[in-house]
Amino acid sequence: MIRCGKVCVAVLFLFACQALAFEWTLVRHDGRDYVPIEEVAKFYSFTQANYSDQSINLEGATLRMLGGVNSRELYLNGLKFILSFPIIKLDDRILMSRMDLSKLVEPVLRPAKIAAKPVHTVVLDAGHGGYDQGAQSILGNEKDFALDVVKRARELLLRAGFNVRLTRSADVFVPLEDRAAFADRQSNAVFVSVHFNAGAREEAGGLETYSLAPRGVPSTNSMNLTLADFQPCIGNVRDPENIALATAMHAALITRVGGNDRGIKRARFIVLRDSNLPGVLIEGGFLTNPQDRIRIAAPIYRQLLAQAILQGILSYNRALNRGGTSEQIMVKRGDASQPEATDPGVSIWDPLKPNVYTLPDDARK
């Protein structure tokens, strides 16, 4: 350990590929490990790097990364991610948390390095049901819209050759724990939960995709760490697959459906926390937003959501099963009004292999 003022700097050696080692500088700050952005740029072979003022702009042949100091927003080829911790500036160096590097950037930029089997079964979960209406509007309720999307997605997935299982196929209430237990009985499967949002403010609108928060980080909608954030969850064994699936699914939603990109976020929802399948929860719009609820009430919009689910599963399968190549899931924005357009394909996706280390020091206490 080398001390430099209040900053503790350590050197970590990890194998980047085959016999080549990459030397990472770990900067300790406020009980957390960070890595310099210039080393992120070098490791991932960004050919252009600009750290002017309070922003970062990294560009490569097929990938662009944008972010800002004191912000948790990170854009990869225009797709919005919400980091677990803000990017910081310390002694004139811009730093990213080691946790975000390991648990988000790495599996997203190099998904082919994730050890995962191809998906054969998709578990579709229509949120709420029965007496649980979910979000409500004058044009309809969340439980009904979610079930309609799930049924449409089932038909598309079956035609594409997937096995499909539904946690509910009618207007009935299913406890969250039962949904997770049902998913766990499936093999070579992923879990997709469909919801619609409600906001305290009418202007809140757009699309969100959630994956399980890794152990030791707060949920996106909570700024403070709690003891519960350090408790192990069944679903955390799938951290790399979870964020890769969320990336594929959210990219499909943005390119196929369009609308305001509210980002890929983290949470500890029971259906994600208590299942050992790779899983995501999508929020297909806000029923409290005037524009969103009109779209959600339209069958064509729900069909686009179903098509995005299929597209997301296909992209996820391709990204994780490329025979060890370093191809990425690339986000390409398309015209969402043309669902028959060519699949945007894959590209956004290890520096720290996701399972090489468990937790930073502050999470071991």
pLDDT tens digits for 155-169? Answer: 999 999 999 999 999
Both 102 and 138 in a single domain?
A: no
- 361 pLDDT more than 80: no
- 339 pLDDT more than 90: no
Where a domain ends, among 109, 132, 156?
109
Both 12 and 152 in a single domain?
A: no
Percent of the chain with pLDDT over 70: 82
Residue 160 CA to residue 233 CA, distance in Å, equals: 32
**pLDDT of amino acid 20:** 54
- 135 pLDDT more than 50: yes
pLDDT tens digits for 289-323? Answer: 999 999 999 999 999 999 999 999 999 999 988 53
Both 78 and 133 in a single domain?
A: no
Domain for residue 86, yes or no?
yes
pLDDT tens digits for 219-234? Answer: 999 878 889 899 989 9
Residue 172 CA to residue 96 CA, distance in Å, equals: 45
- 338 pLDDT more than 50: no
pLDDT tens digits for 173-214? Answer: 999 999 999 999 999 999 999 999 999 899 999 999 999 999
- 327 pLDDT more than 50: no
Low-confidence winner among 122-136, 223-237, 261-275, 307-321 (lowest mean pLDDT):
223-237
Q: What is the mean pLDDT of residues 342-355?
A: 31
DSSP code, position 341: S
Domain for residue 361, yes or no?
no
Q: Is the CB of residue 101 less than 8 Å from the CB of residue 352?
A: yes
- 6 pLDDT more than 50: no
3-class DSSP assignment, residue 59 = strand
Give every CB contact of residue 304 below 8 A, 6+ residues apart in sequence: 256, 257, 336, 339
* pTM confidence score: 0.85
Both 94 and 202 in a single domain?
A: no
Domain for residue 325, yes or no?
no
Residue 70 CA to residue 180 CA, distance in Å, equals: 36
Please give the residue that has the higher pLDDT: either 136 or 355: 136
Both 63 and 12 in a single domain?
A: yes
- 9 pLDDT more than 70: no
Both 209 and 181 in a single domain?
A: yes
Domain for residue 103, yes or no?
yes
Domain for residue 357, yes or no?
no
- 11 pLDDT more than 90: no
**pLDDT of amino acid 21:** 75
Domain for residue 224, yes or no?
yes
Q: What average pLDDT does the structure give for the chain?
A: 84
Domain count, the chain: 2
**pLDDT of amino acid 358:** 29
At CA 285, angle to CA 280 and CA 287, rounded to 5? Answer: 130
**pLDDT of amino acid 23:** 87
CA distances from 190 to 55, 114, 133, 183 (A): 36, 15, 25, 8
Residue 313 CA to residue 301 CA, distance in Å, equals: 19
Residue 54: which CATH number? 3.30.457.10
Low-confidence winner among 113-117, 171-175, 249-253 (lowest mean pLDDT):
113-117
- 354 pLDDT more than 70: no
Looking only at the bridges linking them, the beta strands covering 121-126 and 163-166 are: parallel
Both 173 and 228 in a single domain?
A: yes
Both 153 and 213 in a single domain?
A: yes
Amino acid at 227: L
Where a domain ends, among 54, 82, 109?
109
Both 91 and 129 in a single domain?
A: no
Residue 70 CA to residue 265 CA, distance in Å, equals: 17
Low-confidence winner among 10-24, 217-231, 340-354 (lowest mean pLDDT):
340-354
3-class DSSP assignment, residue 259 = coil
3-class DSSP assignment, residue 190 = strand
3-class DSSP assignment, residue 113 = helix
**pLDDT of amino acid 322:** 59
Beta-ladder partners of 49:
58
Task: Name residue, tokens 């990938």.
Answer: 63
- 65 pLDDT more than 80: yes
**pLDDT of amino acid 171:** 98
**pLDDT of amino acid 162:** 98
Both 84 and 127 in a single domain?
A: no
Both 203 and 132 in a single domain?
A: yes
Instruction: Name the residue range of residue 246's domain.
Output: 121-320
Both 103 and 140 in a single domain?
A: no
Q: Is the CB of residue 16 less than 8 Å from the CB of residue 352?
A: no
- 2 pLDDT more than 80: no
Where a domain ends, among 44, 76, 109?
109
Residue 96 structure tokens: 């990213």
Domain for residue 242, yes or no?
yes
Q: Is the CB of residue 313 less than 8 Å from the CB of residue 157?
A: yes
Please give the residue that has the higher pLDDT: either 117 or 100: 100
Residue 291: which CATH number? 3.40.630.40
- 55 pLDDT more than 80: yes
Domain for residue 347, yes or no?
no
